[in-house]
């Protein structure tokens, strides 16, 4: 009978709690999802707490603090520090990650499990303080699945509450716009729209040039030539940008609210609202840059040019309505408009 010698396995280091850890390279991940003052205070407190907490433990080596400020947890794509932390873990620079809770790590169950498993393969632990869960524990993944699902449901509920809050504000006629891309206006201390005079002149120029016969493309090229920046602060103007300004009712002091809506709270994907959710139209909601008569005249001009394009079977022309006979002369064979050729 053959002799068999049993070679015992090396004891696996499974962290049952923070007190059981050996000399590990430990980092912490912190995140707050909004940038208001109260959340910023929480953000700073988390960073300070974990820096001191890790450095005070003689069994740990300080591996740094990774902190995302003002970022949602439902998707990890835009969380720069989170992604940098994962890269350091995969590069073998980190042995354990400490974070406040599963909801601070991620509210998307799939993301949570993906990264838990990815780090577990490298024998890297994630310790969630609030839930007292260590992912290297044998029960860790089951608890992560359960708690991650609860966190995702919490995010869904928050999304619904946020939508309700926005709807209530809309019902009160409160206009919500992205000031970073809204040329012509800013917000005062009360959050109300106020006109920026120098930007208002750009809006008036766009409306005036359109009524003089210029196309949206020609207007865009002229703005670029004169070094005028878009509402987003870009030097490049697109015809579609000019058209969106000419079509935006907010420039006559009124607002159609909820033009788009979110279809997936995890991906934050927004689509054009085609009657799926309720809309609100608010008259005289803020000071106008363009009077209602001039705005209506521009919309009528859009209709006129659109009806004239109906004679063409080869598509739009960038020069429609720019010259005296633009859109008035057509080929008797194909029906296309004649246009100027350079």
Which pLDDT belongs to residue 2? Answer: 72
In this chain, the answer to whether the domains covering 18-155 and 179-300 adopt an identical fold is: no
Q: Is the pLDDT of residue 3 over 90?
A: no
Q: Is the pLDDT of residue 227 over 60?
A: yes
Confidence of residue 315 (pLDDT cuts 50, 70, 90): very low
Which pLDDT belongs to residue 312? Answer: 43
Q: Is the pLDDT of residue 39 over 80?
A: no
More confident residue, 338 or 247: 247
Confidence of residue 328 (pLDDT cuts 50, 70, 90): low
CATH for the stretch 18-155: 3.40.50.1390
Write the pLDDT tens digit of every residue in 96-148: 999 988 888 876 777 788 888 899 899 999 999 988 888 888 777 777 777 66
Which pLDDT belongs to residue 158? Answer: 67
Contact between 182 and 231 under an 8 Å Cβ cutoff? The reply is yes
Which pLDDT belongs to residue 124? Answer: 94
Which pLDDT belongs to residue 309? Answer: 59
With a pLDDT cut of 90, the percent of the chain lying above it is 35
More confident residue, 256 or 202: 202
Write the pLDDT tens digit of every residue in 59-109: 999 999 998 876 655 556 678 899 999 999 999 999 999 998 888 887 677
CATH for the stretch 179-300: 3.90.1750.20
Mean pLDDT of the chain: 78
More confident residue, 290 or 5: 290
**Rounded Cα–Cα distance for residues 213 and 215 (Å):** 7
Which pLDDT belongs to residue 32? Answer: 74
Confidence of residue 21 (pLDDT cuts 50, 70, 90): very low
Q: Is the pLDDT of residue 323 over 60?
A: no
More confident residue, 330 or 131: 131
Nearest to 242 by CA among 291, 200, 209: 209
Q: Which of 145-159, 244-258, 307-321 has the lowest mean pLDDT?
A: 307-321
Write the pLDDT tens digit of every residue in 140-179: 777 777 766 776 676 677 666 666 666 666 666 566 666 6
Mean pLDDT to the nearest integer, 47-58: 90
Which pLDDT belongs to residue 19? Answer: 45
Write the pLDDT tens digit of every residue in 262-302: 666 555 667 787 766 777 788 888 899 999 999 999 999 99
What are the extents of the domains in the chain?
18-155, 179-300
Confidence of residue 218 (pLDDT cuts 50, 70, 90): very high
Q: Is the pLDDT of residue 250 over 70?
A: yes
Which pLDDT belongs to residue 162? Answer: 64
Walk across the sheet containing 133-134 and list its strands: 60-69, 24-32, 96-99, 125-128, 133-134
The residues, any chain, with a CB within 8 Å of residue 295's CB and separated by 6 or more, are 207, 249, 251, 252
């Amino acid at each position: 009978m053959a002799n068999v010698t049993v070679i015992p396995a090396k004891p696996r280091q499974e962290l049952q709690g923070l007190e059981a850890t050996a000399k590990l390279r430990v980092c912490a991940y912190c995140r707050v999802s909004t940038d208001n003052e109260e959340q910023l205070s929480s953000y700073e407190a988390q960073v300070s707490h974990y820096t001191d907490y890790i450095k005070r433990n003689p069994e740990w080596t300080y591996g740094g603090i990774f902190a995302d400020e003002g970022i949602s947890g439902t998707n990890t794509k835009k969380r720069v520090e989170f992604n940098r932390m994962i890269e350091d873990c995969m590069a073998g620079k980190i042995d354990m990650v400490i974070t406040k809770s599963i909801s601070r790590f991620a509210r998307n169950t799939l993301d949570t499990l993906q990264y838990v498993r990815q780090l577990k393969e490298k024998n890297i632990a994630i310790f969630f303080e609030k839930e007292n869960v260590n992912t290297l524990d044998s029960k860790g993944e089951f608890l992560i699945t359960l708690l991650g699902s609860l966190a995702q449901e919490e995010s869904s509920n928050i999304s619904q509450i946020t939508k309700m809050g926005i709807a209530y504000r809309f019902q009160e006629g409160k206009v919500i716009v992205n000031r970073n891309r809204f040329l012509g206006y800013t917000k005062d201390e009360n959050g109300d729209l106020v006109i920026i005079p120098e930007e208002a002149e750009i809006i008036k120029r766009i409306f005036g040039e359109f009524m003089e016969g210029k196309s949206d493309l020609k207007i865009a090229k002229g703005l670029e030539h004169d070094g005028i920046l878009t509402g987003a602060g870009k030097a490049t103007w697109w015809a579609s940008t000019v058209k969106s300004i000419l079509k935006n009712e907010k420039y006559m002091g009124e607002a159609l609210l909820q033009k788009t809506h979110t279809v997936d709270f995890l991906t934050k994907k927004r689509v054009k609202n085609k009657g799926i959710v309720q809309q609100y139209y608010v008259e005289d909601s803020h000071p106008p840059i363009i009077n209602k008569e001039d705005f209506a005249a521009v919309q009528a001009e859009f209709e006129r040019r659109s009806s004239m394009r109906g004679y063409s079977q080869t598509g739009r022309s960038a020069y429609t309505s720019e010259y005296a006979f633009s859109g008035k002369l057509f080929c008797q064979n194909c029906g296309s408009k004649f246009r100027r050729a350079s």
